[in-house]
Amino acid sequence: MDAPVRVESLTRYYGQRRGVVDLTFTVEPGEIFGFLGPNGAGKTTTIRQLMGLIKPTRGSAHIFGLDCWLDAPRVKASVGYLPGDIRYYERMTGAALLAFLASFREGQVLGRARELAARLDLDLSQQVRHLSKGNRQKLAIVQSLMYGAPLLIMDEPSAGLDPIRQVEFLELLREEQQRGVTVFLSSHLLTEVERIASRVGIIRDGELVAIEDVARLRALRERLMDVTFREPVAPERFAGLEGVRVVAANTDGKQLQLGVRGPLGPLLAVLAALPVEDLTYGPADLESVFLHYYGVAELETVAPVPPMEVAR
Amino acid sequence: MSLPMLRKAVNDLRWTVVWYAVGLAVYGLLICSVYPTFRNSQQAFQSLLHTYPKAFLQAFGVSADMGSLPAFLGAEYLNVIWALIIAVFAIMAGTGTVAQEVERGTADLWLSVPASRWSLLSGKLVAILSGTVVLVLATVATVAVGGLAVGEPQPVSRLLAAGVEMLAFAVAVGGYAVLLSALSDERGKAAGIAAGLTLAFYLAWIIGGLVSRLGWLRYLSIFSAYKPQAALTSGSIAPGVGLLLVLGILCAAAGVLAFQRRDILG
């Protein structure tokens, strides 16, 4: 069986401007592949080439063995596509829009669409122009899933969804995966990709930085923890902890910012013995992953030092 | 051709076509209603018209002999006004095919369906052509009804000949509007260029008629090939109709090809 997605030396320039350069990767059947990178990294350019919207400058992209540019109509027959920042025909109702899109496919597409809409609590009778941002995104999710396509290509799919719906959406994706569907999910949110994907391709400045298993990615990325103490605590108390570094500390010793990689248990054990007044633990930071690959100097412009005094 | 696309495009265009048809019919009937007054004072009007330079009258599609309904309708309705109205329709509909989808960002969704680009675009083109045929038929029906009302019924063959002239003109304008749309990311830009081109054709036709040493300009204008008044008078279809149809079809085909090959940038 041909790979759901196979990209070889894929390169796209917009005139002199870089889009993506020399991307090579394969997405295996039944996996959820995260395509991770900051805004402007080239994720959407890659997806637009997969969907046959733009022609590669060099290299090739294949879906189930079909060339994405030359065989675009056949490629699309096996893809449920969710565009980033989706725009609709504003005067159509959700139901009319889905009926129009479904009319190009075979099968019980609309029945599935109604089920999905009910599950996401989406009213299909409203004109699209009256839908909120979150409901527009729900409609995008419904239209991409309703075909029962063997491959889903999703560009920032949870943008605009509230946290509860994000969880619901990820659950839907897991169910799709159980049915054997392959998912190519583009996002700039490390936490989102971590929660659902098994492998992750990391892209930055148009180039593929790495392809990692999510377990390895978890070991690489750093999360920031802000701790406030009732009494001053010396930063050196955390010096011996593996995977923990002091990012910043204020002068009175009552506030610390820690960078945490790996298991949390040893750090919590230390904190339990200290006079902790408050604590916040931030989401995983994509830039901290880049830090691993590029080093601090190259990322200084990307990851500014937090507004605390740096520990001496 | 994609039938789902055709259905949607017809649905999108239906009210536009209805309102254009109503406008064309009302204007046509208004002109017909004025005709008896003109006919009753024909000698006075003819004397007045003869005071104008012949070239001036020809330039604006007015024949010196306006003693018949076809000549009157040609001068006051079909030769220029109708052509300009239908040009607006053809330009707005034609430039909406591709450039509007790209500009509004709906092209991603539009092209996510498993159909080739040419079949999607040809679905839209057939819908526009159908709308144009409806407008032509509305005009022809208006002339037929108006003719009956003023006691000068027009033979069906002449009405149909005039309809063919009108349709060919609309196809020509629609064709280059579609081509410009397929090449552009902005509907406004495509429509502006198409409107400018139509105006240039009109001016070439006028100036070519007014200034004898620039008479060759008329050969560059689509208005020279469009002769609804002659068709309504004699029932003959001018050879220029073929040129108009070829121009429109070639431009539309080039538009489909260009759309097939172009990038759709987000």
B105 vs A76, A87, A101: nearest CB: A87
Region A252-267: mean pLDDT is: 86
Alpha carbons B170 and B149: distance in angstroms, whole number: 27
Residues in chain B where the model's pLDDT stays below 50: none
Region A281-290: mean pLDDT is: 75
pLDDT at res. A194: 82
Q: Which residue of B has its CA nearest to A49?
A: B263
Whether pLDDT at A300 is above 60: no
pLDDT at res. B72: 87
Q: Which residue of B has its CA nearest to A73?
A: B114
Whether pLDDT at A310 is above 60: no
B212 touches chain A (CB under 8 A): no
Span of A281-285, A304-308, B228-232 with lowest mean pLDDT: A304-308
Whether pLDDT at A298 is above 60: no
Neighbouring C-alpha atoms within 13 Å toward the C-beta of A191: 10
pLDDT at res. B236: 86
> Do the chains contact at A85 and B105, CB–CB below 8 Å?
yes
Give the dihedral sign, CA A66/A68/A70/A75.
positive
pLDDT digits (tens, 9 = 90+) for B144-158: 999 998 888 899 999
pLDDT digits (tens, 9 = 90+) for A205-239: 899 988 988 888 777 778 889 999 998 888 888 88
pLDDT digits (tens, 9 = 90+) for B13-46: 999 999 999 999 999 999 998 888 877 777 777 7
**Residue A243 pLDDT grade (very low, low, confident, very high; cuts 50, 70, 90):** confident
Whether pLDDT at A196 is above 60: yes
> Do the chains contact at A105 and B266, CB–CB below 8 Å?
no
In B, which residues are within 8 Å of A44 by CB distance?
Answer: 266
B104 vs A52, A87, A101: nearest CB: A87
In B, which residues are within 8 Å of A101 by CB distance?
Answer: 109, 112-113
Neighbours of A282 (CB within 10 A): 14
Q: Among all chains, which residue has been given the structure tokens 């839907």?
A: A172
**Residue A301 pLDDT grade (very low, low, confident, very high; cuts 50, 70, 90):** very low
Whether pLDDT at A183 is above 90: yes
B115 touches chain A (CB under 8 A): yes
Q: If you count residue pairs, one on A and one on B, with CB atoms under 8 Å apart, how many are there?
A: 69
B7 touches chain A (CB under 8 A): yes
- Of residues A6 and A244, the one with the higher pLDDT is A6
Q: What is the pTM of this model?
A: 0.84
Q: How far is A101 from chain B (nearest CA, A)?
A: 7
B116 vs A73, A87, A103: nearest CB: A73
pLDDT digits (tens, 9 = 90+) for A34-85: 998 888 889 999 999 999 999 999 999 999 999 999 999 999 999 999 998 8
pLDDT at res. A175: 92
Chain A residues with at least one Cβ partner in B under 8 Å: 14, 44, 48, 51-55, 72-74, 76-77, 79, 81, 83-89, 100-101, 103-105, 143
List, in sequence order, the alpha helices (H) in A9-108: 43-50, 72-77, 94-102
Whether pLDDT at A311 is above 60: no
Whether pLDDT at A302 is above 50: no
Closest C-alpha among A54, A67, A77, A73 to residue A8: A67
Alpha carbons A165 and A168: distance in angstroms, whole number: 5
In B, which residues are within 8 Å of A48 by CB distance?
Answer: 264-266
B28 CB-near residues (< 8 Å, 6+ apart)? B73, B77, B139, B142, B143, B146
Please state, for a pLDDT cut of 90, what percent of chain A lies above it: 48
B105 touches chain A (CB under 8 A): yes
In A, which residues are within 8 Å of B113 by CB distance?
Answer: 76, 101, 104-105
A77 vs B2, B104, B114: nearest CB: B114
**Residue A118 pLDDT grade (very low, low, confident, very high; cuts 50, 70, 90):** very high
Region A130-136: mean pLDDT is: 91
- ipTM greater than 0.90, yes or no? no
In A, which residues are within 8 Å of B264 by CB distance?
Answer: 48, 53-54
Mutate which: B8, B108, B117, B124, vs A, most A CBs within 10 A: B108
